[in-house]
Chain A
Amino acid sequence: MFAFTIAGLTGLTLLTGNILGITLTLFGFAVFHFYLGGNYSAVGNAVWNLLNSYAFTAVPSFILLGELLGKTGVARKIYTSLSPLVARLPGKLLQTNIVTCTVFSAVNGSSSATVAVVGAIAFDELERQGYDRRAVIGSIAGAGTLGILIPPSVVLIIYGSWQDVSVGHLFVAGIIPGLMISAFFMTYVAIAATLNRRMVPAEGAAVPLGKALLMSLHAWPFLVLILVILGSVATGAATPTESAALGVVAAIALAACYRELTIKSLWSAVVSTVTIFSSLALILIGATVLSQALALSGMPKYLALAVAESQLSPVLVICLVYLMYFVLGCFFAGVDMMLITLPFVFPLVTALGYDPVWLGIALVILIEIAILTPPVGVNLFVIMAVTRGRVSLAEAARAAFPYWLLLLFALGLITVWPGIVTFLPRLAF
């Protein structure tokens, strides 16, 4: 009867195009009805515990930080400061795109914000200078994914706060994989630009090294911002939640220093934050109801037991989990995919002996892969919007494909050598 109801509800949900957050709640209610005798009394407590959570308060703060940096024009400063130095590498300004996305990711927890900000700064200028359009959009859409891996990351905060995993550990764990993927992207661009001379315009003398170094010093306030956010967490001076608020204050001070701060841009950033957060809040509430219902029903425990009894090797189970996320990545935009599956995946994978911190980073890389996967890859759509429709979805997907492969390669590496992820948190804490 339960299976029949769930199948019916799934069909109904898909045919009616219902709101995801409400749908998750509905599925949770179905579990309460069939497995817990219609006793819904845990719903209120579960939702209250989620919303009255100190750790979760970092989520709107980090969204606000990204919005502030984008809307006040501060992000443009870092691009222009780093360009002369980084553009000396093969691939020139394509490398600047990747480095800027990497640096911007260290002060911002969202991938779509990273793509939108760097894309708006770079796309028109690079196209005007004669860079290959596909290479430009690929580098921005691909490197933009780092926004949710390199700390601070909103996805890691949600994962950590929801599953009781230390957000500080997760933040530190994201550093090496994030920098590793960034290095992969830069290596790819260097090789591709060397093999394909038409990718990068030939003309234009490079700025002398001394002058380029001097210009890059103009990016120092960003270093301060990174130190405020990551340094405070890594040294234990502040919790991730506090570091988000300190980052917001530092970003406002930075914008004021650059004379980019206006009341209008400040208000616009706050309103955008609340608007973006509204969609996330309802999903979080729905996912909590479902998660609570599943936990009380004992279903995830039975699933973990069934997998253990089936004698499947942990690696095979992990590969099956990856496969599930690759398929889901074609239909879900990102963090929603994690929220829907985590009630099952977390107990299953941790029961196999995998480190919860490692799982968080693996999930983030799977989300990065998903946001480059058509037909709902968010980064592809953001880059389409940035180019004002001059790039089609198919073109954006083709351009991002090498980066998609490199993310897959990185996922393989951290699966074979989990120490890439767990080494730094063990060292730091």
Chain B
Amino acid sequence: MRNETGMSRLFILVDRAERSIAVIGRLMMYASCAAVVGIVVLLAGSSLRRYVLGTPITMTEEMTGLLFVATSCCCLVHGFSQNQHIRLILLWQHLPPPWRQWMEILGQAVALATIVIFVRETYAFAEFSYELGSRTDMTNILMWPWMALIPASLAVLGVAIAIRTVGNVLRVSSGIMMPSTAPEPDAPPRELL
């Protein structure tokens, strides 16, 4: 009885964590959307000003580069929550369903380990920039907060993967099917471009 209660509490906890990370992913996605709009406004405004008013915006290249960092980093978690990331399912999809579930969990653990190394290395890079106090050439903007977006977004992605892994282990060990995270056999591949 106590075990059952403990399990159901764990399920509730994981469910809440999954919902919370999805909300965080969505908020980050909005930031990514804002960055895309910022890129378009800045680029179009800059080229129009150059030709119409003859006064180019000198910071365009630097600012759009920084906004592209924000666009790329802030969309990663939402992509994971929405199962948008392309997966190599060629062999995996032909495994028997129980095997498929455990192998997916193993894959998530491997992904988590990879992300831990990735966060460590990109954090070290951002930390070095922080120590140097490096700034952009034209606009004198501090670079480390933008650099820190890379390990920060990867860390949130890692947390999202960890929560999903824990949730999946709980579900599979309780005999519950994992929610579908990849296309079933014969389902269409993700549209990339």
Chain A: residues with CB nearer than 8 A to chain B?
Answer: 12-23, 25-26, 29, 40-41, 43-45, 47-48, 51-54, 56-57, 60-61, 63-64, 109-112, 148, 154-155, 232, 237-238, 241-242, 244-246, 248-249, 270-271, 273-285, 289, 331, 333-336, 376, 378, 381-382, 384-385, 393
Contact (Cβ within 8 A) B84 A278: yes
Cβ of B21 within 8 Å of any chain A Cβ, yes or no, is no
- Given A249-B40, A333-B189, A18 and B75 contact (CB-CB distance below 8 Å): no
Interface presence of B147 (CB below 8 A): yes
CA of A14 to CA of B88, assembled, Å: 6
Closest to B128 in A: A44
B118, A51: Cβ atoms closer than 8 Å: no
Task: Determine how close the nearest CB of chain B comes to the CB of A373; give it in whole angstroms.
Answer: 12
Judge whether A44 and B121 touch: CB under 8 Å. Answer: yes
Q: Which residues 138-167 of B have a CB within 8 angstroms of A?
A: 146-147, 150
Looking at the assembled complex, report how far the CB atom of B165 sits from the nearest CB atom of chain A, in whole angstroms: 12
User: Contact between A333 and B68 (Cβ–Cβ < 8 Å)?
Assistant: no
B85 within 8 A of A: yes
| Contacting pair B193 A16 (CB below 8 A) | no
Q: How far is the CA of A276 from the CA of B192 in the complex (A)?
A: 7
Determine whether the beta carbon of A57 is less than 8 Å from that of B43. yes
Asked if A279 meets B192 with Cβ closer than 8 Å, knowing A54-B61, A274-B29, the reply is yes
CB-contact partner of B118 in A13, A25, A249, A333, under 8 A: A25
| Main DSSP-derived SS at the B contact region | helix
Give me the interface of B with A, judged by CB distance under 8 Å: 29, 32-33, 36-37, 39-44, 46-48, 51, 61, 64-69, 71-73, 75-76, 78-80, 82, 84-93, 95, 100, 103-104, 106-107, 110-111, 114-115, 117-118, 121-122, 124-126, 146-147, 150, 182, 186, 188-193
Note all chain A residues with C-beta closer than 8 A to B190: 279, 333
User: Taking A20-B85, A22-B115 as contacts, is the C-beta distance between A52 and B193 under 8 angstroms?
Assistant: no
19 A–B contacts from the bound complex (CB under 8 Å): A16-B106, A17-B87, A22-B115, A23-B88, A25-B114, A44-B126, A52-B68, A54-B64, A61-B43, A109-B193, A154-B193, A242-B43, A245-B43, A249-B44, A276-B193, A277-B32, A378-B188, A378-B192, A381-B188
Add 6 more A-B contacts to A15-B103, A273-B36, A284-B72 (CB < 8 A).
Answer: A111-B193, A112-B191, A249-B44, A270-B36, A333-B192, A378-B188
Q: Is the CB of A17 within 8 A of B104?
A: yes
Q: Is A16 a contact partner of B110 (Cβ separation < 8 A)?
A: yes
Would A245 and B188 be within 8 Å (CB), given that A51-B68, A336-B86 are in contact?
A: no
Report which of A53, A282, A335 forms a contact with B79, defined as CB distance below 8 A: A282
A48/B110 in contact, CB under 8 A: no
Which residues of B sit under 8 angstroms from A44, Cβ to Cβ? 121-122, 124-126, 147, 150
Across the interface, do A19 and B111 meet the contact criterion of CB distance under 8 Å?
yes
Q: Which residues of B contact A382 (CB under 8 A)?
A: 188, 191
CB distance from A310 to the nearest CB of B (A): 31
Closest chain-A Cβ to B103's Cβ sits at a distance in Å of 5
Q: Which of B42, B91, B118, B191 has the most CB of A within 10 A?
A: B191
A115 to chain B: closest residue by CB? B191
Report chain A residues within 8 Å CB of B86: 19-21, 279, 283, 333, 336
> Which residues of A lie under 8 Å from residue B117 when comparing CB positions?
29, 40
Q: Are A17 and B47 in contact (CB under 8 A)?
A: no
What's the Cα separation between A403 and B95 when bound, in Å? Answer: 34
B-side contacts of A54, CB under 8 Å: 61, 64-65, 68
Min C-beta distance of A26 to chain B, whole Å: 5
Q: Whole-angstrom distance between the alpha carbons of A53 and B71 in the complex? A: 12
Residues of B within 8 A of A47 (CB): 122, 125, 150
Question: Which residues in B have their C-beta under 8 angstroms from that of A52?
Answer: 65-66, 68-69, 146
Which of A270, A282, A393 is the one whose CB lies under 8 Å from B76?
A282
Which chain B residue lies CB-closest to A42?
Answer: B121
B120 to chain A, nearest CB (A): 8
Instruction: Give the most central of A17, A41, A245, A246: most B CB within 10 Å.
Output: A17
Contact A277 B66 (CB under 8 A): no
Q: How far is the CB of A41 from chain B (nearest CB, A)?
A: 7
Residue of chain A at shortest CB distance from B61: A54
Residues of A within 8 A of B64 (CB): 54, 57, 241
Q: How far is the CB of A181 from chain B (nearest CB, A)?
A: 18
Within 8 Å by CB of B85, from A112, A278, A385, lies: A278
Contact A56 B79 (CB under 8 A): no
**Cα separation A20 to B83 with both chains bound (whole Å):** 12
Chain A residues lying within 8 Å of B192, measured Cβ to Cβ, are: 112, 276, 279-280, 333-336, 378
Query: Whose C-beta in chain B lies nearest to the C-beta of A11?
Result: B91
Residues of A within 8 Å of B121, CB to CB, are 40-41, 43-44
Contact A274 B78 (CB under 8 A): yes
